[in-house]
């Protein structure tokens, strides 16, 4: 995640540096009982100065889906807020929870039509064993697993060898943690800690750590939230 | 006033009659009075909404008639009057609640959703070419700690908030209220079962469910549980729809 450097008018050196590079490493893995999303915890200014070492870059969208983001902080916060709004309105208008594919389509549309320029998302939800890769132009692609952000090549390399389809989320969490550790090892804009979010039929749980890799994850307490009672239908 | 004079003021709701009345708004209130009723009751630990549906035919699917509407995780609305008009207002309330979340990053206070709807309803009584909404609403919900601290309702020892909106666009805060057909009987039932002198509300949500269904049944000779709907909103926020069985049990106790 790259922080925008203040009030630079469009077209300055800082602006273009922000526009073309996205910090962060994010990963998403689909399993047979749910999905795992992970992100590092570093926020930097153009990959040159670390402005935050404990950022949360996986945000729940209700209790049944979550989105991991890379790119500008302001774009990411805005897109997360708008996704939550769209989810809630969908649920109220249709009397059922918003499916993950509809959420991914909406995220793509927000980026395509909106003012967001430097952002990359990964989205996963409980009703699918796949994840969605959403790029800075609003393109949406469904995949078994995905990585995004400046450390994505390193993360993909780690995931390529370790990921296997139809595994339980308990097996996928360490794989996600290791992929983030591999990326943080060489990518300047990634590191400092992790957020690992798991979504299953039981609900959404989040683990945050100060270190990286599966050992750091094993020592972290899981904070889980109860299933969304508001999903109950009303006539 | 004779009929010919009165007709001139009927034509537009934006025209006052000589005695200062807006006939179209009063006719809209009449439309509400003909709609099947809805009630709201505040409790110490929440707020209750209930409604009675009218089934034109046994072939009509009861679920397709909606009197209680979710607005957000912490707000619901009950409506009486023209259902089509109510749907428009419900949609508007949902967007208003989400707009507040987007703009301020917090759940919308119940009163602010109410006043934003009130502003819109009032506009329809003053704009050329429109007609007033033929519906009244009960807006009920739970405010986050600290929010709504300026409202009169937060002082009365209740977590719940309850407002009525009529076709003129005036919001009223209530401890317990009924709208729609038989609302006078229903309000009298509440006035006799609740102690207006008590400064603090001490009733539980379960008590309030009984009070609410009691009030609705006060104007119903043969209460049919299938025609009743009821939901409760408690801190959390937790919205619970009461099942037909639970409603039937309460109605039986009331009848005996």
User: Does residue A228 lie in a domain region?
Assistant: no
A92 vs B70: CB contact, 8 Å cut-off?
Answer: yes
Quick one: closest CA in B to A96, which residue?
B70
Quick one: closest CA in B to A227, which residue?
B238
* ipTM computed for the complex: 0.74
Confidence tier at B250 by pLDDT (50, 70, 90): very high
Asked if pLDDT for residue B6 goes beyond 70, the answer is: no
- CA separation (Å) from A80 to A76, A94, A186, B215? 6, 21, 28, 44
Average pLDDT rounded to a whole number, residues A157-176 = 95
pLDDT digits (tens, 9 = 90+) for B166-206: 999 999 999 999 999 999 999 999 999 887 776 667 789 99
Query: What are the structural domains, with CATH classification, of chain B?
Result: 58-255 (3.60.20.10)
User: Does residue A231 lie in a domain region?
Assistant: no
From the list A108, A132, A104, the residue with the least C-alpha distance to A119 is A108
3-state secondary structure of B164: strand
For residue A89, give the CATH number of its domain.
3.60.20.10
User: Does residue A218 lie in a domain region?
Assistant: yes
pLDDT score recorded for residue A234: 36
In chain A, residues with a C-beta closer than 8 Å to the C-beta of B241 are 232, 234
Asked if pLDDT for residue A152 goes beyond 60, the answer is: yes
User: Does a cis peptide bond (omega within 30 degrees of 0) precede residue B120?
Assistant: no
Cα–Cα distance between B115 and B117 in angstroms, integer? Answer: 5
- CA separation (Å) from A156 to A126, A150, A166, A195, B92? 23, 11, 18, 18, 45
Could you write out the three-class secondary structure of chain A? CECCCCCCCCCCHHHHHHHHCCCCEEEEEECCCEEEEEEECCEEECCCEEEECCCCCEEEECCCEEEEEEEEHHHHHHHHHHHHHHHHHHHHHHCCCCCHHHHHHHHHHHHHHCCCCCEEEEEEECCCCCEEEECCCCCEEEECEEEEECCHHHHHHHHHHHCCCCCCHHHHHHHHHHHHHHHHHHCCCCCCCEEEEEEECCEEEEEEECCCCHHHHHCCCCEEECCCHHHCCCC
User: Does residue A147 lie in a domain region?
Assistant: yes
What residues have CB less than 8 Å from B197, skipping those under 6 apart?
Answer: none
Whether the CB-CB separation of B93 and B87 falls below 8 Å is answered with no
Mean pLDDT of chain B, nearest integer: 89
pLDDT score recorded for residue A224: 54
User: Does residue A235 lie in a domain region?
Assistant: no
- How many domains, chain A? 1
pLDDT digits (tens, 9 = 90+) for A11-30: 333 444 444 345 899 999 99
pLDDT score recorded for residue A28: 98
pLDDT digits (tens, 9 = 90+) for B11-20: 665 788 889 9
What DSSP string runs through B180-235? STTHHHHHHHHHHHS-TT-SS----HHHHHHHHHHHHHTT-SS--GGGEEEEEEET
Asked if pLDDT for residue A59 goes beyond 90, the answer is: yes
Point out the residue among A84, A89, A230 whose CB comes nearest to the CB of B94: A89
Asked if pLDDT for residue B156 goes beyond 70, the answer is: no
Range of the domain at A118: 16-223
Asked if pLDDT for residue A226 goes beyond 80, the answer is: no
Average pLDDT rounded to a whole number, residues A51-73 = 94
User: Does residue A233 lie in a domain region?
Assistant: no
pLDDT score recorded for residue A223: 57
Residue A200 known to be catalytic: no
Confidence tier at B109 by pLDDT (50, 70, 90): very high
Q: How far is B213 from chain A (nearest CA, A)?
A: 18
B68 vs A93: CB contact, 8 Å cut-off?
Answer: no
Asked if pLDDT for residue B28 goes beyond 90, the answer is: yes
Q: How far is A230 from chain B (nearest CA, A)?
A: 6
Of B41 and A19, more confident:
B41
Point out the residue among B94, B101, B236 whose CB comes nearest to the CB of A92: B94
What DSSP string runs through B2-61? -HHHHHHHHS-TTS--TTS--HHHHHHHHHHHHSPPEEEEEETTEEEEEEE---S-TTS-
B102 vs A232: CB contact, 8 Å cut-off?
Answer: no
User: Does residue A11 lie in a domain region?
Assistant: no
Point out the residue among A88, A230, A235 whose CB comes nearest to the CB of B98: A88
User: Does residue A6 lie in a domain region?
Assistant: no
pLDDT score recorded for residue B146: 52
């Amino acid at each position: 995640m790259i922080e925008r450097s203040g009030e630079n008018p469009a077209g300055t050196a800082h602006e273009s540096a922000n526009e073309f590079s996205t910090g962060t490493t994010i990963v998403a893995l689909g399993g047979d009982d749910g999905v795992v999303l992970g992100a590092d915890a570093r926020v930097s200014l153009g990959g040159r100065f670390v402005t935050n070492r404990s950022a949360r870059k996986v945000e729940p969208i209700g209790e049944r889906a979550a989105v991991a983001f890379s790119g500008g902080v302001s774009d990411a916060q805005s897109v997360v807020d708008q996704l939550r709004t769209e989810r809630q309105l969908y649920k109220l208008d249709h009397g059922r929870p918003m499916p993950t594919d509809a959420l991914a389509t909406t995220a793509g549309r927000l980026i395509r039509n909106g003012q967001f320029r430097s952002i990359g998302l990964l989205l996963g939800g409980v009703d699918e064993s796949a994840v969605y890769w959403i790029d800075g132009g609003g393109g949406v692609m469904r995949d078994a697993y995905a990585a995004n952000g400046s450390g994505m090549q390193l993360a993909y390399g780690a995931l390529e060898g370790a990921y296997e389809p139809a595994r339980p989320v308990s097996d996928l969490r360490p794989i996600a943690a290791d992929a983030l550790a591999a990326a943080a090892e060489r990518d300047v804009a990634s590191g400092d800690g992790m957020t690992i979010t798991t979504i299953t039929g039981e609900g959404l749980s989040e683990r945050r750590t100060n270190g990286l890799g599966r050992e750091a994850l094993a020592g972290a307490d899981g904070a889980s939230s109860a299933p969304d009672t508001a999903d109950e239908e009303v006539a | 006033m004779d009929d010919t004079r009165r007709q001139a003021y009927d034509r537009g709701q934006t025209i006052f009659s000589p005695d200062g009345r807006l006939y179209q708004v009063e006719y809209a209130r009449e439309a509400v009075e003909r709609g099947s009723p809805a009630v709201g009751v505040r409790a110490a630990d929440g707020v209750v909404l209930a409604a009675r549906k009218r089934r034109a035919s046994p072939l009509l699917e009861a679920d397709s008639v909606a009197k209680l509407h979710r607005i957000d995780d912490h707000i619901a609305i009950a409506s009486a009057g023209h259902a089509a008009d109510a749907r428009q207002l419900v949609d508007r309330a949902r967007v208003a609640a989400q707009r507040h979340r987007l703009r301020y990053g917090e759940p919308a206070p119940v009163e602010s959703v109410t006043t934003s709807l009130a502003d819109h309803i009032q506009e329809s009584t003053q704009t050329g070419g429109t007609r007033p909404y033929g519906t009244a609403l009960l807006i009920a919900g739970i405010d986050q700690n600290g929010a709504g601290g300026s409202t009169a309702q937060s002082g009365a020892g209740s977590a719940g908030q309850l407002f009525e909106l009529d076709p003129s666009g005036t919001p009223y805060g209530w401890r317990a209220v009924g709208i729609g057909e038989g609302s006078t009987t229903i309000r009298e039932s509440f006035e006799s079962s609740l102690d207006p002198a008590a400064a603090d509300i001490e009733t539980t949500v379960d008590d309030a469910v009984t009070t609410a269904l009691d009030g609705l049944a006060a104007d119903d000779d043969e209460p049919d549980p299938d025609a009743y709907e009821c939901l409760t909103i408690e801190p959390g926020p937790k919205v619970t729809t009461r099942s037909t069985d639970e409603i039937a049990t309460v109605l039986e106790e009331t009848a005996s």
